[in-house]
Copies of this chain bind each other. A is one copy, B any other.
Amino acid sequence: MSAAVLAGASSLMTEQPSNELRSNELPSRRVSQQRLVGRLMEMARIGATVSGGVDRAALSAEDAAAQALMAQWGASLGLRATRDAAGNFFLRWEAGAGAPLVSGSHLDSQPTGGRYDGVFGVIAALEAVQAMQETGLAPRRPVEIVAWMNEEGSRFAPGMMGAAVYGGARALADILPVRDQAGISVEAALASTAAALPGIATRPLGGTPYAYVEAHIEQGPELERAHCPIGIVSGIQGKHTFRVTVRGEAAHAGTSTRAERRDALLAATAMVQALARVLHDEADVTKFTVGRFDVTPSAPSVVASQVIFSVDLRHPDSQELRRLSALVAPACEAAAGPCEVEVSRLSAADSLAFPAAMRARLRAAADRLGLAHRDLLSAAGHDARYLHPICPSAMLFVPSRDGVTHNEAEFTEPADLYAGACVLADVLAELAMSTGQP
């Protein structure tokens, strides 16, 4: 055994105690359910829909208002708000030295989204920081709360845009020209957000966190069915996304014959049906979704000249996902009839597994709090996907009623939100005080 290895081992041994906080140092004791839920409900007023949900598109005025509210809450705790060139928003607790411990999620929502998806992870991180401060902890490293830009991908496709740029998986130059349905580019929307909040300083893009922990609602029914408040996320299901552009020719609905027509809508609907057939699996593991289907010119008496539709394809087995992914373009081409079709793959993320050590920390924290937990795979994509390659990352889930998310009816019991924030606070405190590897 070399001296270097011995030194390493010794250093690990001496650090061990610093990872374990004394019970009176555990910030979960200071986590406030009332404050946590109160902030969530206050945030839900920004972009509130009549049906009780939230419509807070990435880089919209509502998104900026949500950041302003976070900045205001952060200021009262001495946290400094900054934003990077990709529109990621940070609240930094300046402490200790070295790489920051980062925790958060996103503030944007689906067009008819709920009150918890994304925002819970951001506000729970804020709650954790406040609880750590009230416990009197002096972190060994800076702690940053983050709201990643455009996780949802409904205004600008694909999603997880800000996290992907931060983590280096995508270049900033790639996302800036992406446009929404109104023709507004990410670049222009970033400028609007910056203009709406001139008080928030710019920070350099990217970085290498010490570790990253993200709390999120489960986007499925598993925890609720198991009566289990805490999910330890083993990994994230792989996801490939596509944009399919079908080009036909506009024609009069009353005069053009079937033989003359190049009906983009008829071809596109045939493609969607063909994809459903070719991607069908008896076991019902594959997830295939066409969520957008935009018709041009979209008039009842005009044969459609163009349809652009989205394909979202997921499978926990990366190899099977790649096999299914390769079927998409041929299936569309075979159903194109007299139209032209162009299939563009927008993203291709394999399935991933979070480090065992990070998962063990979450599990231990839940055990210490007497909270039931279970391991589960995230079928949904999360920003943590893009942090995983650059730093030790982990995710914890809390239940979502009936597994309903991306829906205005989304709901999580206050007690479960509180449980999740407690586990997050204790794990963040451990990581903030740790001197060795996460």
Contacts and interface: CB of A to CB of B under 8 A. Distances in A.
A31 to B, nearest CB: 27
Interface residues of A, number: 71
Interface string A267-304: 01110110010001000101111111111111111111
Interface stretch (A97-105, A188-196, A403-411): A403-411
A328 interface: no
Nearest to A300: B310
A276 B287 contact: no
A247 interface: no
A237 interface: yes
Contacts of A406: 250-253, 299, 301-303
A218 B378 CA distance: 58
Contact of A239 (B218, B254, B270): B254
Contacts of A218: 255
A294 B299 CA distance: 11
Given A273-B270, A300-B312, A293 B293 contact: yes
A5 interface: no
B111 A297 contact: yes
A263 B288 CA distance: 11
Interface string A57-71: 000000000000000
Nearest to A294: B298
Interface in A355-386: 378-381
A159 interface: yes
A403 to B, nearest CB: 7
Interface SS of A by simple majority: loop
B273 A269 contact: yes
A52 interface: no
Contact of A299 (B153, B301, B405): B153
A182 B294 CA distance: 16
Contact of A256 (B157, B294, B381, B403): B403
B295 A292 contact: yes
Contact of A110 (B152, B220, B276, B297): B297
B293 A295 contact: yes
A153 to B, nearest CB: 6
A154 interface: yes
A265 interface: yes
13 contacts: A152-B301, A154-B302, A220-B255, A239-B254, A249-B407, A250-B406, A251-B406, A254-B378, A257-B284, A269-B269, A291-B302, A292-B298, A293-B298
Given A159-B301, A269-B273, A292-B300, 13 more contacts: A152-B299, A159-B300, A219-B254, A252-B379, A254-B314, A265-B293, A268-B269, A270-B273, A289-B302, A291-B297, A291-B303, A293-B298, A301-B381
